[in-house]
A and B are shown apart, each in its own frame.
Chain A
Amino acid sequence: MQLSHYLKIYPYQEQPDHLLLFSTKQASKVLLAKETFQSIENGTLSPSDEALLSRLGMIVPDREAEKRSIRGLIEKLNKKNPGLSITVVLNLDCNFACVYCFEGDIKGKLYMSDQTAEHLIDFIKEKFSKHKKSLVIDFYGGEPLLSTGLIKSISLPLKSFVESRGAAYSFTLVTNGSLFKRRTAAELASLGLKSVKITLDGPAEIHNRYRPFKSGAGSFDTIIANIKDTWDLVKISIGGNFDLNNYEKFVLLLDYLEVLGLGPDKIFAVKFDPVMKPPQGDTSTACYKDGCMSINEPWLIGAERLLRKEILKRGYYTPKIMPMSCMIEATDSYVVNFDGVIYKCPAFIGKKGFAVGNLQTGVTDYADIYKLDTWKNQDCAGCEYLPLCFGGCRYMTFVRDGNIDKPDCKKAYFDASLEELIKQDIKFRST
């Protein structure tokens, strides 16, 4: 047996006679006595240890075969995927005027029509093949709660259709949270609403500057009041978009949530992400000059490390370091814009050349449009981080290069961050 190609080995200060091993393909973690590690290299590992480390993906019979297997993993996932996932952009209208909104140049009083909603229902029914076990719709905007009527008229027939097949229907909302009142939450929960992602950009003084109502008034207090009123009805995840100038203040938001009693027992998850710069040529966010163009930017390493630690320290759930891919890789995942045009990622809606079809004519071959094989090259094949990124975020590449011809390489980021992030998971999580 050989060490897996997708293995990172780090020192472990708390037990200096052990090494910390992390499998990037299985997200497994072990502490291994240095002596035992030596016996892997010598080929003298005991059969029971060999079986255990093999099961955890740490050792493999053939590294080249393992690389081929990872290359085919996305295809394998797509063949077995029991779910259908549809992101529905109900409108491109919003009651907020966020300074960095990436939809800034395409927003307006643009709403999905009843006829398009009917076409959407037909499209989903057609895509929901017999072996599917779940349908998840992510209602998106603009602000999806400006289209509550549509959420109901789309959910009702689909819930009934999916359940008649013995499968599960659920939906989520990516919302600014200002319209998420208890009555609305209760009504939508009965139709299958499972979770809501609400954005808070740090404490009130910062959030209100970055995410004001269109009138200019602050939105922070309204959102907090809504979260307090609805946490018992649906899972609420808090997201936040930080930049170089404000990320340290996000810790104050976590403190405030605790003061309000909105601890990990009430908030399902917390995750903060950097604001991305608008793509070249986008003039809608002309006043906003910050944001990142790559996850490899040095300031992001410290920012993420700090914020993740503060989140975990307080007992909130935030995603573990695990295999991930861009959502465009998932075959049974589509984004339907308000006008019925279909994309593969919500960040690309309205971007010329990234539509893959429409509700009436169906989906065309999009392998080249979204450069599905961009990570199937020599460099990525040799990279031990491949399962954690599979070519990374296509939109990040688009922001940086104006096209998605190359992968969004995260190697520098993982080289600088992964050890610390894994050690955070060990320190602050019970499992």
Chain B
Amino acid sequence: MKKEKKQEKKEIIVLDAGINTEIIIYGGVCCCGPLMPIRG
């Protein structure tokens, strides 16, 4: 019952799960961009 209520109200809406900090790696050279991304 509680679960149904939660789905109706959408208390938490995940827009982007982001990166997994356990597997992140460097994303390559920045070359003329300001910084180098750390990707998931």
Contact = CB atoms under 8 A, between A and B. Distances in A.
Q: Is the A/B pair a real complex?
A: yes
Interface of A: 18, 23, 25-33, 35-36, 46, 49, 52-53, 56-57, 73, 77, 80-83, 85, 87, 136, 138, 140, 172, 174, 197, 199, 239, 241, 271, 273, 295, 319-320, 322-327, 330, 333, 346, 389, 392-393, 396, 425-426, 431
23 contacts: A23-B18, A25-B21, A26-B18, A27-B16, A28-B16, A29-B15, A30-B13, A31-B13, A31-B15, A33-B11, A49-B11, A56-B18, A73-B21, A138-B28, A239-B33, A273-B32, A273-B34, A322-B19, A322-B38, A322-B39, A323-B19, A323-B37, A426-B15
Interface string B14-35: 1111111100111011111111
Interface residues of B, number: 30
For chain A, what secondary structure do more than half of its interface residues adopt (helix, strand, loop), or is it mixed? mixed
A241 B16 contact: no
A28 B13 CA distance: 11
A174 to B, nearest CB: 5
A324 B15 contact: no
A49 B34 contact: no
A326 B31 contact: no
A296 to B, nearest CB: 12
A56 B17 contact: yes
Contact of A30 (B14, B33, B34): B14
For chain B, what secondary structure do more than half of its interface residues adopt (helix, strand, loop), or is it mixed? loop
A49 B2 CA distance: 12
Nearest to A23: B18
B37 A324 contact: yes
A28 B28 contact: no
B14 to A, nearest CB: 5
A295 B25 contact: no
A103 B9 CA distance: 57
Contact of A52 (B12, B25, B30, B34): B12
B32 A392 contact: no
Contacts, number: 130
B25 A82 contact: yes
A36 B21 contact: no
Contacts of A330: 26, 36
A85 B29 contact: yes
Contacts of B17: 28, 56
A425 to B, nearest CB: 7
B30 to A, nearest CB: 5
A416 to B, nearest CB: 16
Given A29-B14, A326-B36, 18 more contacts: A26-B20, A27-B19, A28-B17, A29-B18, A30-B13, A32-B11, A35-B11, A49-B12, A57-B21, A197-B31, A271-B33, A273-B33, A319-B33, A324-B37, A324-B38, A325-B35, A393-B34, A396-B34
Interface of B: 2, 9-21, 24-26, 28-40
Nearest to B24: A77
Given A29-B18, A30-B15, A138-B29, A323 B36 contact: no
A171 B12 CA distance: 42
9 closest A-B pairs by beta carbon, nearest first, are A28-B18, A26-B18, A324-B35, A27-B18, A31-B13, A29-B15, A33-B11, A29-B16, A323-B38
Given A33-B12, A49-B11, A323 B32 contact: no
Given A26-B18, A56-B18, A57-B21, A36 B38 contact: no
A215 to B, nearest CB: 24
Given A26-B21, A49-B11, A49-B12, A324 B36 contact: yes
Contact of A33 (B9, B15, B36): B9
A138 to B, nearest CB: 5
Contacts of A389: 35
Nearest to A431: B16
Contacts of B12: 30-33, 36, 49, 52-53
